[in-house]
Structures are given as C-alpha cells and as structure tokens.
Structure 1
C-alpha cells in the first residue's frame, strides 16, 4: 500500500505548488498584502482547474471550516466534530439548531453553481432581490468587490455575519469566474475584523484570503491524493452499490453508513473495508454513530 501511495503522490506532482516567495514573504502594508493575496488566489485558480482535485469534496470540507468560524463568531461552542454530528446524523424529524443551520447554509451555498436562486436557498431569511442587491454592491477588482459586499451586508444587517460572508465569497467567485462559491473569507477572518470598515476591512480581507488560499491549495493536493487512492481501490469492492458509495465519499466531507445505498450491515462492512484499505478514515473515534470521510 505504501508503494501505491507513493505512486499516486508522484502522479499528482502535476498540481502546481504554491511558490515559496508567496508563503515566505512578510507583508504589512495594504499594497503588499493585496499583491500577495492576488498571487495566492491566482495560484488557487490554477489548482482548481486540475481535474484531479475533487472539487465538490474540497468545497464541502471548506464549508465545514467556514461554518465552524461563523459559529465561533456567534459565541457558540460547537466545533467541526459537533457540526458534523448535527448535520450528518440528523433524522428527518430533528431540528438542526442554530449551529447546524449555519453549517447547512454553507453546504447549500457550495452545492450548486453561484446564482441568486442558489444563494436564496442557502439564505432563506432574505428576499432574492435583497440578495441580488448585496451581491452586486461592489465594483472593481475581485477582493474589492468581495469586501464591499461584506461591508454592505454588515452595515445593513449588522447581525447577519453568516449571510455577509457567504455573499462576499459569492461575489469573489463571480469576479474570478468560478462557477461555484469556494468558502475562503470566514476561516481567515477574526471576529473583530467583521466590525472594521473601509481600508481596514479590505486589509483584513486580503490577509484572510491569502491565508485561506494557501490552505486551500494544500488541502486540494491532499484531497487529490486521497481521492486518487480511493478510485484505485474501488475495483476491489464487490458490494452491490459500492460504486455509488464511492461517489458519495468523493463529494461529501463525511458520510454515515446509514446514508449509503446499501443495507445497514453491508454499509458498515464496506466502510470498514475502505478503512482497512487506507481509502477513507473514521472521523469520530467512536464505536457507534460513526462517520467516515476521505
């Protein structure tokens, strides 16, 4: 298995690496930070263009990080593990609670190509016309447009941090020509940054996008390697419905065995088999109510 992993890693060397001058340069002024954030976003743009990167899985995992940040901004204690439990173990009659709603909003925001209708699905508390106005609040370069969208929402709806960040990422995606929203801003900002305005907010957004773009490039390479390994071992799976199950792992941050298109016992055996093959990981550390992910 070690040989297989090394071979897959070698195959994925085609993914461009972030230049060291981008990650090693220290910048303080708005001009310098803007230059580095632009370089990092440009490099992420190249990486996202590679078919080896499991795009839906990457967005779903970044959505979890964004939701975790938004929950922390609101002063709630839930972190990634609890958010996963809330959403992936949710029964039809259950309510997700405030933290779960935040996570669901981010997941809905990344599921479909950016559009007013898709954003309305993620943010049902707001009218589509209001969403369209906020999304189009900014002009100019991509980060400037994202910052202006963020500032406009926070000024008009001061408690709508989650909506502001989703719409800012959506504005950024549109400006960069990305089909889908890629959650970047929330994980890189601090709570105090959301109360800034003007150049101070723009500087905070450039810093956030720089750090998040660098992390997204690293995560893209890691997920590309893991996805390639899962695809390589897939032919060894003999369970009926295994192909559809593999596709779920390639598009979702986490999967509960009960959600797989197999009988319960067969689903648990498949998950155990994939763990033995090193293709997926058990994410909870529990003996029951387990979740699995690439």
Structure 2
C-alpha cells in the first residue's frame, strides 16, 4: 500500500469539535430539535469529507455500535465483544449465530456504496423490490424521510428491529447524499422510540441524530489521531505484507492476527509490535484469541 499521500503533516489535532451550542441548547419542540440535528449533520458532513479522516474505519466502528443496539433491541445479551468474536473467529462452515448474523448484516451494509443491490446483499432474506419500496416510503427532509421509512418498515416487517434499523440508516444516507451507509440512527434511538409514530417519531429521530452525530465527531477525532500514528509507523515495518496489513487496520474495526496476509507467527509478531509502538490496541484483554484495532 502506498502511504506517500498520508505521511505528511498530521492534521488530526485540527479536527473541529462539534459546536457546544448544539449540545447545550435546550430543545423541546420539533422545530428546535430539527434545527440542531441539521446543524450537527452539516458539521459531520464537513468533517467526514476531510482527507485525513479514516471514514471507512469510522463506518465499521459505527456498524459495531449499530449491531450492538440492534441485538439489544431484540432482547439478546450479546454486546460488542461477543459480536466481534462471533465474526472474526469464524471458520469455514461455521455459523455466526443470530447475533453474529446481525453484525455481519451491518458490516455488509456499510462496506459498499449504498444501493438496493448492496442492501440486498446485507439483507439477503428481503427481496430487492421490497427494499426499494421501503426506501421509497419516505419523502421530505432527510430525518423526516428516515422517520417515515422507519415507521413503514416497522409496521410492514412485524417489528423486526434489525431490518428496520438498517433500512432507516440507509434511507438517511441516501437523503443526505452520502455514498455509503453511515450508521447514526440505530445507535441513537431508544427501544421505546421504535414504537412511536408521526411527530413523536420524527422528534425521536432528530434527537437520535444529534446524539449520534456528537459521538461520531468525537470518534472521528480519536480514530483520525490513531490512524495518523499508524500511518507514521508503516515505513518502520519491514515484514513482507506489512503494508497490506496496515491497510486492513485502517478500514476495519477489529482484526485477528490470523486474518492478516502474513504467516501466523509473523502476523502475531507484527500485531505485538504495533501494540508496543502504540499504533494499535489489543481489544479483548485476553492472552489468546486476541483482536486488534486502531
């Protein structure tokens, strides 16, 4: 991988913070919260357009958060650690289990440009025509459009939260002109919000957007700093395949040593060295079956 475009000045410390008035301003009416959600989305849009921000990595981290929320809404106990394990330690022929399937669906939803075809890949049990119908159910401004899609999907699918949440974040991405699904609503909505309708649901969606946009801006700042440090370390790594391995860390929420394009022992050594250099973190706290990420 060519890092020549990214090894210059580290601009991560200059990433602007979300304006404090967005989080501090009291907003009880639909009009007020709609204004704040629009402002937070505009800030996030400008931030994600920066060359130094690792947007693919951010999307996969948000996909984990969205999957965790979806699993929680369904009443299952699995959380982020279990979801990572279910996906990253799959062997050929293994099944990831219900919670792992939810996580895989979110990962597939964010990894390709948003379209009916890509969403059908993430939701293979839903016909492409039905997906198009769901996405076409919303009209108007982006958050209002997403709220209508959510209401329609919840009613039509028998309240299948995981399916509805992927569709609502896809609808929001399309309405905002984003190339990829960037999960915001799934992690920001509360379980009770999914039963709301009309203005109450629109209000809940606006509030969820504000909360998620604020957290995503913080996440972007953290991951941009981490990605810059990892890129800076790349020229010091002499192992064959190290460049490709670094590229994987820059787009994936977590990576197991066995997934890297190196022999097993070399992959483990590379991961340990990156941890020692402070370029990646070990995410599990275990001595075996470890996962690494920025």
Q: TM-score, normalised by structure 1?
A: 0.96
Separation of aligned partners in 2, 1:205 and 1:101: 25
Separation of aligned partners in 2, 1:86 and 1:173: 27
Separation of aligned partners in 1, 2:104 and 2:127: 18
Q: Corresponding residue for 2:213?
A: 213
Q: Corresponding residue for 1:191?
A: 191
1:86-134 superposed Cα distances (whole Å, 9 cap, x missing partner): 0011111210111000000000000000010000000111110000010
Asked if structure 2 preserves the Cα contact closer than 8 Å seen for 1:84 and 1:254, the reply is: yes
Q: Corresponding residue for 1:275?
A: 275
Separation of aligned partners in 2, 1:125 and 1:248: 29
Q: Which 5+ residue runs of structure 2 have no aligned equivalent? A: 1-7
Residue 289 of structure 1, CA deviation = 0.5
Residue 160 of structure 1, CA deviation = 1.8
Q: Corresponding residue for 1:177?
A: 177
Residue 9 of structure 1, CA deviation = 9.9
Stretch of structure 1 that moved more, 25-34 or 261-270 = 25-34
Q: Which 5+ residue runs of structure 1 have no aligned equivalent? A: 1-7
Separation of aligned partners in 2, 1:130 and 1:241: 43
Q: Corresponding residue for 2:3?
A: none
Q: Corresponding residue for 1:12?
A: 12
Residue 41 of structure 1, CA deviation = 0.7
Residue 279 of structure 1, CA deviation = 0.2
Stretch of structure 1 that moved more, 84-93 or 59-68 = 84-93
Separation of aligned partners in 2, 1:10 and 1:262: 29
Residue 186 of structure 1, CA deviation = 1.1
Separation of aligned partners in 2, 1:51 and 1:14: 13
Q: Corresponding residue for 1:30?
A: 30
Separation of aligned partners in 2, 1:185 and 1:170: 10
Q: Corresponding residue for 2:5?
A: none
Separation of aligned partners in 1, 2:68 and 2:13: 31
Separation of aligned partners in 1, 2:290 and 2:239: 20
Alignment of 1:215-234 (within 5 A): 215-234=215-234
Separation of aligned partners in 2, 1:67 and 1:40: 23
Asked if structure 1 preserves the Cα contact closer than 8 Å seen for 2:11 and 2:52, the reply is: no
1:121-152 superposed Cα distances (whole Å, 9 cap, x missing partner): 00111110000010111111000111111111
Could you say what secondary structure the match of 1:87 adopts? helix
Asked if structure 2 preserves the Cα contact closer than 8 Å seen for 1:37 and 1:207, the reply is: yes
Separation of aligned partners in 1, 2:11 and 2:202: 38
